Structure 1
Amino acid sequence: MALLKNGAVSAPPGAPTAARALTSGDPFAAGGIAAERGANRYGVCSIEDFPPGINDLSATHEDAGGFYNYVKQFTAPNFWYTDGGVLSWIYGEQYDDWQGTYGFDACVAEYHSGHGTMDGNGVFWMPMGGTWGGTAWASSNDMRLGNEVARYLFFSTCLSLRIGDGNSPIRTWDAANLGLRMIFGFETTSVDSPNYGAYFFSKWNANGHKFGKAWLDASWDIDHHQAPSVVACGATQAEAQDRLFNEGAFNTAAASKNWWWWTWYDAAKSISPPRVELPGTPQTARFAPHRLSPARLSELAGHYGVRVGGGQAEPAMGPHGLVLGDGQGGPRLTVDHRGVREITFAETDGSGRDAPSAAEAVRIAQDAVETFGLADRVDLVADAVRHQYHAGGTPEEVAEPRVRETHVVFTQLVDGQPVVTPGLGEVRVAIDGSGTVTTIADATREVDRLTAGAPAAPPSTAGAGRDPSTVDEALDAPLQRLLRRLSAGGRVPAEVRAIPDSTTVGYAMRGDDGAPVARRTVEVDCGEGLAKRYVLEAPLR
Structure 2
Amino acid sequence: MALLKNGAITAPPGAPAAAQPLTSGDPFASTGVAADRGANRYGVCSIEDFPPGINDLSATHEDAGGFYNYVKQFAAPNYWYQDGGVLSWIYGEQYDDWQGTYGFDACVAEYHSGHGTMDGNGVFWMPMGGTWGGSAWASSADMRLGNEVARYLFFSTCLSLRIGDGNSPIRTWDVANLGLRMIFGFESTSVDSPNYGAFFFNKWNANGHKFTKAWLDASWDIDHHQAPSAVACGATQAEAQDRLFNEGIFNTAAASKNWWWWTWYDAAKSIDAPRLELPGAPRTARFAPPRLTPARLAELAGHYGVRLGSGAEAEMGPHGVVLGADQGGPRLSVDHRGVREITFAEADGAGRDAPSAAEAVRIAQDAVETFGLADRVDLVADKVRHQYHAGGTAEDVTDPRVRETHVVFTQLVDGHPVVTPGLGEVRVGIDGAGTVTTIVDATREVDRLTESAPAAPAAARSEAREPSTVDEALDAPLQRLLRRLSAGGRVPAEVRTIPDSTAVGYAMRGDNGEQVVRRTVEVDCGAGLAKRYVVEAPLR
Output the CA distance in 2 between the equivalents of 1:292 and 1:207. 16
Letter in 2 for 1:345: F
Output the CA distance in 2 between the equivalents of 1:217 and 1:342. 12
Output the CA distance in 2 between the equivalents of 1:288 and 1:88. 51
Residue number in structure 2 paired with 1:507: 506
Residue number in structure 1 paired with 2:373: 374
1:278-298: CA deviation from partner (whole Å, max 9, x where unpaired):
011111100111111222112
Residue number in structure 1 paired with 2:418: 419
Residues 80-479 of structure 1 aligned to structure 2 (within 5 Å): 80-311=80-311, 313-315=313-315, 317-458=316-457, 464-479=463-478
Output the CA distance in 1 between the equivalents of 2:223 and 2:455. 29
Deviation for aligned residue 1:116: 0.1
Output the CA distance in 2 between the equivalents of 1:207 and 1:489. 40
Letter in 1 for 2:41: R
SS at match of 1:147: coil
Residue number in structure 1 paired with 2:518: 519
Residue number in structure 1 paired with 2:4: none
1:55 and 1:491 in contact (8 A); partners too: yes
1:3-24: CA deviation from partner (whole Å, max 9, x where unpaired):
xxxxxxxxxxx99342111211
After superposing on structure 2, the runs of 4+ consecutive aligned residues of structure 1 that deviate more than 4 Å are 29-32, 35-38, 459-463
Letter in 1 for 2:473: A
Residue number in structure 1 paired with 2:6: none
Residues 275/268 of structure 1: CA separation in 2 closer, same or farther (3 Å cut): same
Output the CA distance in 2 between the equivalents of 1:457 and 1:36. 54
Output the CA distance in 2 between the equivalents of 1:63 and 1:114. 9
Deviation for aligned residue 1:309: 2.0
Output the CA distance in 1 between the equivalents of 2:363 and 2:209. 28
2:426 and 2:441 in contact (8 A); partners too: yes
Deviation for aligned residue 1:37: 11
SS at match of 2:463: coil
1:340-387: CA deviation from partner (whole Å, max 9, x where unpaired):
000000111121213211111000000000000000000000000001
Output the CA distance in 2 between the equivalents of 1:358 and 1:319. 38
How many residue pairs match? The answer is 525
SS at match of 2:69: helix
Residues 22/165 of structure 1: CA separation in 2 closer, same or farther (3 Å cut): same
* TM-score, structure 2 normalization: 0.95
Letter in 2 for 1:241: Q
Higher relative contact order (CA 8 A, sep 6+): 1
Deviation for aligned residue 1:319: 2.8
1:314-351: CA deviation from partner (whole Å, max 9, x where unpaired):
32x22321111111001100111110000000111121
1:15 and 1:309 in contact (8 A); partners too: no
Deviation for aligned residue 1:207: 3.4
Output the CA distance in 2 between the equivalents of 1:462 and 1:419. 27
2:16 and 2:311 in contact (8 A); partners too: no
Output the CA distance in 2 between the equivalents of 1:407 and 1:86. 38
User: Which range moved further: 462-471 or 333-342?
Assistant: 462-471
Superposition RMSD in Å: 1.7
Letter in 1 for 2:72: K
Output the CA distance in 1 between the equivalents of 2:364 and 2:308. 26
SS at match of 1:205: helix
2:36 and 2:75 in contact (8 A); partners too: no
Which ranges of structure 2 fall in alignment gaps of 5 or more residues? 1-13
Letter in 2 for 1:522: V
Residue number in structure 2 paired with 1:529: 528
Output the CA distance in 2 between the equivalents of 1:321 and 1:138. 40
Output the CA distance in 2 between the equivalents of 1:271 and 1:93. 48
1:18 and 1:313 in contact (8 A); partners too: no
Letter in 2 for 1:244: L
1:108 and 1:150 in contact (8 A); partners too: yes
Output the CA distance in 2 between the equivalents of 1:314 and 1:78. 38
1:378 and 1:444 in contact (8 A); partners too: yes
Output the CA distance in 1 between the equivalents of 2:24 and 2:235. 32
Deviation for aligned residue 1:456: 3.6
Output the CA distance in 2 between the equivalents of 1:477 and 1:51. 28
Output the CA distance in 1 between the equivalents of 2:461 and 2:420. 35
2:387 and 2:404 in contact (8 A); partners too: yes
1:306 and 1:324 in contact (8 A); partners too: yes
Residues 460/134 of structure 1: CA separation in 2 closer, same or farther (3 Å cut): farther
SS at match of 1:212: helix
SS at match of 1:369: helix
1:17 and 1:313 in contact (8 A); partners too: no
SS at match of 1:20: strand
User: Which range moved further: 252-261 or 267-276?
Assistant: 267-276
SS at match of 1:359: helix
Deviation for aligned residue 1:30: 5.0
Residue number in structure 1 paired with 2:21: 21
2:354 and 2:404 in contact (8 A); partners too: yes
Deviation for aligned residue 1:466: 1.7
Output the CA distance in 2 between the equivalents of 1:537 and 1:167. 33
* TM-score, structure 1 normalization: 0.95
